[in-house]
Structure 1
Amino acid sequence: MLAEIITIGDEILIGQIVDTNSAWMGQQLNKIGIKVKQISSVSDDREHILNALAEASKRADVILITGGLGPTKDDITKKTLAEYFNVGLMENQDALDNVERIFKRYNRPLLEVNKQQALVPENCEVILNENGTAPGMWFNHHGKIYMSMPGVPFEMMYMMEGQVLPKLQATIELPVIVHKTILTAGEGESFLAETIADIEDSLPPHIKLAYLPKLGQVRLRLSGFGDDARALEKEVEHYASQIIERVKHVVVAEEDLPIEKAILNQMEQRGLTLSTAESCTGGLISHMLTQHLGSSKVFLGGAVSYSNDLKEDILDVKHETLQQFGAVSEQTAVEMAEGALKNFKSDYAVAVTGIAGPDGGTPDKPVGTVWIAVVSANNRQIKKFTYVGKRLQNIERSAISAFTMLNNLLKA
C-alpha cells in the first residue's frame, strides 16, 4: 500500500515556513503499514494542483493533501478538488455548525467569508475539524483514497490521529510493519556497518537494516514486513539483540528517542541528578533537556556563563586559570563543571566552552575548538573537539558531544 503526500502553499516553496507536516505524516503512515512513495510541494496554482493530483493517482493508493483550505482568495484547494473530481460545491451543515460553534466560543462575529468554510465538494465525506474551521475532506475515487486536511500542523495532527488513521486502518487491509530502532553515539556509520556486517548479511529478505546518521549519532533501524505481528516482533528483536550486544559500547537507547531523552530516562531510573555550565552552547543543552516532560526529576538547572566574570562569580572558575589558559581550555572546562557540581549540588555536571565562530579564533585555538568536561564526584571525562562547520552546526555538535560523553560516563 503506497501513499503520496502533497503539500500546497507558496509559503513552503519560498522557504517562509518549513514543511514539518510531511515528515510527521510519513512517520504515522509507516507505523500502520503504509509506505510513502513520494512527497510533493506545489504552489497555490490551480494547474499545478491538478497536475499533482493526477500524477499522484498514478503512483499511489492513498493521496494525502494539506494546505489551501483557509477562507481567503489565495486558498483554492477546495475549488480545485471539486474541479478535479468534476463536481460542484455544497454547504455541509455539520461543517457550518462547527464554524458557528467556534466563533461563538470566542465571541467573534461570523462573516460570510467564514461561512464559506462549510462549502465542500459534493462527493466528499466531511471529517470535522475539532481544532479549527476548515473541515477535512475524504474522497473515494476510482479505487483511490484522497484526504484533504488543513495545513496548520496541530489541526492536521489531531485530525490524522483521531480520525484519518483509524479510518484508513478500517478501510484498507494493511500489512504488518515492525520497527526497532537502536540509538548509538560516538561512532560513524562506516565503523558500525563494518562491525555488524555479518549480522546484516544474515538478515532475511523481509527484514531490512537502515543507517540514519545525524551529527555524531547513528540510528540503526530494523524494519520487518509480514502478516504475523507477534512472530515478526520476535524475529526483529532477535536480530536487534545481536546488534546491541556487538556495539553495546556506543548504544544510548534501544528505542527511537532523542539522545537527551534517553539520558534523562537512564538517570531517572538510577535516581541521579544533572546540572550544566554552558558557554558557547548558550543554553542549548538545558533547552534540549527541559523540552521533555518530567525533566525536572533529573535536571536541577545550570548557568549560561558566556562572560569570564560569570564563570568566576557563578561557577568559581579561578581568575588565574582564565588568565593563564583562557576561557577555551581544558582547565576552564574542568573548573566550570566542578563549580556546577558543587554549587548546584547535582550528581553529574556537564560543562562546554569553545569558539563557535565565525570569528574569535586564533592560530592556537581556531574556530570550532571546543572543550567539554563531564564530571561526577568519583569520575570525569574531558575532551577537546575541533569542528569544521558553521556556527549553529558547531553549537549543535557540541551539545550532542556533551550528551555522548555523559552517556559514556554513566556507563563507566
Structure 2
Amino acid sequence: MKAEIIAVGTELLLGQIANTNAQFISKKLAEVGIDVLYHSVVGDNAARLAGLVETAQQRSDIIIFTGGLGPTKDDLTKETIARCMGKTLVENSEAMEQILAFFARRGTPMTENNRKQALVIEGSTVFPNDHGMAPGMAVESSGIRYLLFPGPPKELNPMFENYALPYLLSLSSDSQVVHSKVLRFYGIGESLLEEKLIDLIDGQSNPTIAPLANEAEVTIRITAKTDTTQKADEMISEVEKEIERRVGEFIYGYNQDSLHSVLVGKLKENGLTLSLAESCTGGLISHLITNIPGSSEVYAGGYVSYTEKAKVQALGVDPALTQKYGTVSEEVASAMAVQAKTNMSADIALSVTGVAGPGTVEGKPVGQIFIGVATATGEKVYSLKLSGTREGIQLRAAKYGMYYLLKELVNERN
C-alpha cells in the first residue's frame, strides 16, 4: 500500500506550529510496512485542498488528512473530502453524545456550531476521540482509502494507534510482520558510519539498513519482514553482529535508549554515584540525567560553575590554576571534576568547560571544549573542537561528556 499525508491548516504554513503529526504517522506506518511517499501541507482553503486531493488520487492507495475537523468555518476538511467523493455528511450519534456530555461536565452551554464536530462522511468507519470531541474516520471510494484525523497531537496520536492502525492492518492480506531494531551510536559521524557500512547498505534487501542523523548522534534502523517476529529477530541479529564487528565501539544503546538513560542504568549496575561540574553546558547534563526516573539513586548533585568566581568560590578550584591556565583549559577541567567528586563524596565525577559562542573566551576559539572525568583511579581530560550553533555545541558537549563517562565505566569494569 502506498500512502501520503496531507496536513490542513494555515498555521502550519505560517510556521506557527510544526507538522509533528506527519512525523508521527510516518513513523507508525513504516513500522507496519506501509510506505509513505508524499507529505503535503495546505492552508484552510477548500479549492486548494480539493486540488491536492485530485493529485493524491492519482498516486496513492491511502490518503491521510490531519486537521480541519473542528467547529469553526475554517475547519473544512471533511466537507471538502466528501464533495470530492460525491458523498454527504451525516451525524454520528456516539460522537454527538460525547460532545453533549463534555459541555454538561463543564456546566457551560454548547454553541450550535459544535454539532459540526459530530459529522462524518457517510459510510465511514468512525474512530472514537478518547481525548477530545471530533472523531476521526476512514472511508473507501474507488479503491482509495481516505483517513481523516483531528489536528491536536494529544487527540490524533492515541486515535491513530488504538483505532487507525488496526483498521489499516485489517486491509492487508499479507500475513507477514515487519520488525525493527535501532542501534544508537555516538562519537562517529553519519558520513563515516555510512562509509564503514556502505556495502551492507547498498546490498540491503531484507533486512533493510537505514542510517539517520538525529540530535547530535546517529542511529541505524535494521528492519526485517517475514512471517514471525522470532524469524525477524534472527534476521536482524545476523546483520547486527556484522555492524557490531565493524563499528561496535561506537554503539551505546538500542531502540528507545538515550545516553543519559544508559548512563544512569550503568551507574546503578555498578553501584556508583555521580557528581557534575558544568560550565558552558549550563546544567544541561544535570537536566538530562534527572529526567530519568530513579536517577536520585546515583546522582549525588552538581554545580553550574559558569564564571571563574563560581569555579573558585563555590566549587573550590585553586585560583592559581584559573589565573595560570584560564577557565577553559585541561587543568581547570580536571580540577573541576576532582572538586565535584570530593565535595559531593561521589564515586565518579564529570566536568565540562569550554566556549559555546558566539565569541572567543580567553583567546580560546568557539567550540573548544574540555571534559574531565575523575574516578577512584585518577583523572582524565578529553579535548574537543566542535562546530555549529551555540545550542548545538552545548548539546554535543553534554552528550560527549556522558559518552566519555560511559566509556570510562566500561574500561574500569574491565
Question: TM (normalized to structure 2)?
Answer: 0.91
The yes-or-no answer on 1:307 pairing with 2:307 is yes
Once the two structures are TM-superposed, the CA of residue 331 in structure 1 deviates from its matched residue by 1.9
Once the two structures are TM-superposed, the CA of residue 7 in structure 1 deviates from its matched residue by 1.3
* Residues 1:110 and 1:50: Cα distance change in structure 2 (over 3 Å): same
1:122 counterpart residue number: 122
* Residues 1:118 and 1:222: Cα distance change in structure 2 (over 3 Å): same
Q: Please give the alpha-carbon distance, in whole angstroms, between the structure 2 residues aligned to 1:402 and 1:360.
A: 21
* Residues 1:43 and 1:406: Cα distance change in structure 2 (over 3 Å): same
1:186 counterpart residue number: 187
Q: Is the 8 A contact 2:338 2:379 kept in 1?
A: no
* Residues 1:266 and 1:21: Cα distance change in structure 2 (over 3 Å): farther
* Residues 1:151 and 1:216: Cα distance change in structure 2 (over 3 Å): closer
1:20 counterpart residue number: 20
1:36 counterpart residue number: 36
Q: Please give the alpha-carbon distance, in whole angstroms, between the structure 2 residues aligned to 1:390 and 1:49.
A: 38
Q: Is the 8 A contact 1:208 1:223 kept in 2?
A: yes
Query: Residue type matched to 1:289 in 2?
Result: I
Q: Is the 8 A contact 1:199 1:242 kept in 2?
A: no
Once the two structures are TM-superposed, the CA of residue 40 in structure 1 deviates from its matched residue by 1.4
Q: Is the 8 A contact 1:252 1:263 kept in 2?
A: no
Q: Please give the alpha-carbon distance, in whole angstroms, between the structure 1 residues aligned to 2:130 and 2:95.
A: 10
Q: Please give the alpha-carbon distance, in whole angstroms, between the structure 2 residues aligned to 1:58 and 1:258.
A: 41
Q: Is the 8 A contact 1:334 1:373 kept in 2?
A: yes
Q: Deviations over 1:149-175 (max 9, x none)?
A: 111111111111221112222332344
Query: Residue type matched to 1:316 in 2?
Result: G
* Residues 1:237 and 1:286: Cα distance change in structure 2 (over 3 Å): same
Q: Is the 8 A contact 1:211 1:221 kept in 2?
A: yes
Query: Residue type matched to 2:190 in 1?
Result: E
| Higher deviation after alignment, 73-82 or 147-156 | 73-82
Once the two structures are TM-superposed, the CA of residue 99 in structure 1 deviates from its matched residue by 1.0
2:388 counterpart residue number: 389
Q: Please give the alpha-carbon distance, in whole angstroms, between the structure 2 residues aligned to 1:96 and 1:50.
A: 27
Once the two structures are TM-superposed, the CA of residue 112 in structure 1 deviates from its matched residue by 1.5
* Residues 1:375 and 1:60: Cα distance change in structure 2 (over 3 Å): farther
Once the two structures are TM-superposed, the CA of residue 186 in structure 1 deviates from its matched residue by 1.0
Q: Deviations over 1:334-365 (max 9, x none)?
A: 22222222223333322112221112445x30
Once the two structures are TM-superposed, the CA of residue 327 in structure 1 deviates from its matched residue by 1.9
Once the two structures are TM-superposed, the CA of residue 379 in structure 1 deviates from its matched residue by 4.4
Query: Residue type matched to 1:185 in 2?
Result: Y
1:370 counterpart residue number: 369
* Residues 1:61 and 1:342: Cα distance change in structure 2 (over 3 Å): farther
1:75 counterpart residue number: 75
Q: Please give the alpha-carbon distance, in whole angstroms, between the structure 1 residues aligned to 2:239 and 2:331.
A: 44
Q: Is the 8 A contact 1:129 1:159 kept in 2?
A: yes
1:220 counterpart residue number: 220
Once the two structures are TM-superposed, the CA of residue 129 in structure 1 deviates from its matched residue by 0.7
* Residues 1:294 and 1:147: Cα distance change in structure 2 (over 3 Å): farther
Query: Residue type matched to 2:98 in 1?
Result: N
Q: Is the 8 A contact 2:70 2:116 kept in 1?
A: no
Q: Is the 8 A contact 2:46 2:80 kept in 1?
A: yes
* Residues 1:22 and 1:300: Cα distance change in structure 2 (over 3 Å): farther
Once the two structures are TM-superposed, the CA of residue 377 in structure 1 deviates from its matched residue by 2.1
Q: Is the 8 A contact 2:89 2:120 kept in 1?
A: yes
Query: Residue type matched to 1:59 in 2?
Result: R
What's the secondary structure of 1:247's corresponding residue?
helix
What's the secondary structure of 2:350's corresponding residue?
strand
Query: Residue type matched to 2:313 in 1?
Result: D
| Higher deviation after alignment, 9-18 or 117-126 | 117-126
1:269 counterpart residue number: 269
Q: Please give the alpha-carbon distance, in whole angstroms, between the structure 2 residues aligned to 1:349 and 1:173.
A: 56
Matches within 5 A, 1:5-404: 5-174=5-174, 175-196=176-197, 205-214=205-214, 216-361=216-361, 364-404=363-403
Unaligned 5+ segments in structure 1 are none
Once the two structures are TM-superposed, the CA of residue 94 in structure 1 deviates from its matched residue by 0.8
Q: Is the 8 A contact 1:356 1:368 kept in 2?
A: yes
Q: Please give the alpha-carbon distance, in whole angstroms, between the structure 2 residues aligned to 1:300 and 1:68.
A: 49
What's the secondary structure of 1:103's corresponding residue?
helix
Q: Please give the alpha-carbon distance, in whole angstroms, between the structure 1 residues aligned to 2:157 and 2:302.
A: 34
Query: Residue type matched to 2:57 in 1?
Result: S
Once the two structures are TM-superposed, the CA of residue 200 in structure 1 deviates from its matched residue by 5.3
Once the two structures are TM-superposed, the CA of residue 3 in structure 1 deviates from its matched residue by 1.8
Question: TM (normalized to structure 1)?
Answer: 0.91
